[in-house]
Amino acid sequence: MLQRTRMKRKSTGRPAKERILDAAEQLFAQRGFYGVSLRDITQAAGVDVALVSYHFGGKRELFTAVFERRAEVLNRERLELLEEVRRRALPAPPSLEAIANAFFEPLLERSARGGPGWKSYFALVAYVNNSPEFGPMMMTRHFDPLVDRFITVLCEALPGCPPREIYWGYQFLTGALTLTFAETGRLDKLSGGLCRSTDLDSVRERLAPYVAAGFRALCERALAGAPDKPGRVGAARRSRRRP
Amino acid sequence: MLQRTRMKRKSTGRPAKERILDAAEQLFAQRGFYGVSLRDITQAAGVDVALVSYHFGGKRELFTAVFERRAEVLNRERLELLEEVRRRALPAPPSLEAIANAFFEPLLERSARGGPGWKSYFALVAYVNNSPEFGPMMMTRHFDPLVDRFITVLCEALPGCPPREIYWGYQFLTGALTLTFAETGRLDKLSGGLCRSTDLDSVRERLAPYVAAGFRALCERALAGAPDKPGRVGAARRSRRRP
DNA sequence: GAATATATTCAACAACCGTTGAAACCGTCA
DNA sequence: TGACGGTTTCAACGGTTGTTGAATATATTC
């Protein structure tokens, strides 16, 4: 009677929806949104293509679902750590090192010891953060409240420092962190094996002192009388403190 | 006799090969390698699709051609500036600020005042540098000799500093620079207009002090007896300077 | 001006893309 | 058992992808 025999379903324990998210997480992190097809993803997940439309609605929605899955738990943890650091230092503001550490320590910890999914996730965040197309919308939507809070605490820790300097310092910090999470392996080649970009413990030890010193330098530069528009080096010195 | 009438060619002065490179530069920078089709590019260039295969061989080769076009002139200029900075400081090594400045000043200058092509190009380099797929190969091939030279000079400027620290400091520096060139506009939103990510003069003034202070902090941390594996914070302090 | 080399156009190719609808499978509760 | 709702499979859709070959147009050379 011409009945078709269907493939038995894979049924590898984990529900299909999460298998899709896992596979998409890894592939999107490796090759970006456009570099991966739904068939790449569903094949890696051992699942039919149509399930993406069924469970998520479309490719775009799958992409944001992957991005959102781990964002909230992460933000909560980082915020709690920041407030704890703040409480411990009372009545003084916490050190810049402690603030910076609260910012990226939960990320480095999970990337190093949270399993391969987390590692892919941070590479994906690095991709999104650097993307002119996805970056502004997705990062802003999910991470801005947290970043605002960090900026506020940084301002308290650097009294008298113009907020503009804090924002630029944060920009440099997040850039350094982003490239680290991209884990392109370039540092390994460059250093001839002296540094391994997967060695997140090395990052953990160094990033906080690095950016803390950077913040202080920015603050000093601003307070020590850098004019609004220094132009060339000579002109800057000349126009300062006109008698 | 059924002769087909052909479209007259566009002939907008500039040769087709360079028009393709220009359009590809802008579009690849915006949406990455996979986010742009050859038809997007050739349509923006006002040129037939088949010309890509004819002039470059294929999409991949076009991508690398775009990347290579401005790399050499850039490297030469940066290297000359570095050697000039070095010469001027003799017999002492140049300051960290001067070295860092020589590293990114030619980039910022051309991005700000070199025309839209240059601006797109640096966004493209940011994309490549953060890409796990293209980054290691393309960056290494075109920029490693230059970076090696900069690392050497940095080591001279920080005598006694373990080279490992220099490499990590360079990693953070290039990460901050990369995110800046991506120009996602996120900093603008975050700061409520207080900072503009397109304001490369602000970057120029701040990046050198920031990273120079960071390098010094890394060096001090290494020399001040940071153990090889500090583990947790408490353990690190306890094991230092055992009597 | 004819011959030649280079450049560009056009049409088509097979492969792949995201998405869809209908059918089949599955466990659950009545 | 039978009906039912949530999942999954299958096949197909129209559109787009990178690439190719032949025909045509333009420039160069003798």
pLDDT tens for B111-139 read 999 999 999 999 999 999 999 999 999 99
Whether residue A129 lies within 8 A of chain B, CB to CB, comes out as yes
Stated as kind and residue range, the H or E segment containing A144 is helix A135-157
- B81 burial (CB, 10 Å; 0-12 / 13-18 / 19+) is middle
What is the predicted pLDDT for the residue at A227? 57
Predicted confidence (pLDDT) per residue in A137-163, tens digit? 999 999 999 999 999 999 999 999 999
Residue ranges, chain B, pLDDT below 70: 1-12, 225-243
Q: How far is CA A212 from the centre of its chain?
A: 18
Q: How far is the C-alpha of A107 from the C-alpha of A222, rounded, in Å?
A: 31
Q: Which residue of A has its CA nearest to B166?
A: A191
Whole-number Cα distances in Å, B160 to A19, A136, B149, B220? 51, 42, 18, 10
Question: Closest by alpha carbon to B28, among B115, B167, B118, B123?
Answer: B123
Tell me the average pLDDT of chain B. Answer: 88
CB contact under 8 A, B180 and A175: yes
List, as ranges, residues 163-192 from A with C-beta within 8 Å of B: 163-165, 167-180, 182-187, 189-191
**Å from A37 (CA) to C29 (C1')?**
40
What is the predicted pLDDT for the residue at A231? 40
Q: How far is CA B215 from the centre of its chain?
A: 19
What is the predicted pLDDT for the residue at A183? 87
Question: Closest by alpha carbon to B126, among B135, B113, B116, B137?
Answer: B135
Nearest by CB: A186 against B139, B189, B194: B139
Whether residue B112 lies within 8 A of chain A, CB to CB, comes out as no
Predicted confidence (pLDDT) per residue in B36-68, tens digit? 999 999 999 999 999 999 999 999 999 999 999
Contacts of B171 in chain A (CB under 8 A): 176, 179-180, 187, 195, 197
Is the dihedral angle over the CA atoms A122, B229, A186, B152 positive or is it negative?
A: positive
List, as ranges, residues 222-241 from A with C-beta within 8 Å of B: 226, 229-230
CA gyration radius, chain A: 23
The answer to whether B30 CB is within 7 Å of strand D is no
- Please enumerate in sequence order all residues whose Cβ is within 8 A of that of B16, keeping only pairs 6 or more positions apart, or say none: B45, B47, B51, B55
The answer to whether A6 CB is within 7 Å of strand D is yes
A101 pLDDT tier (thresholds 50, 70, 90): very high
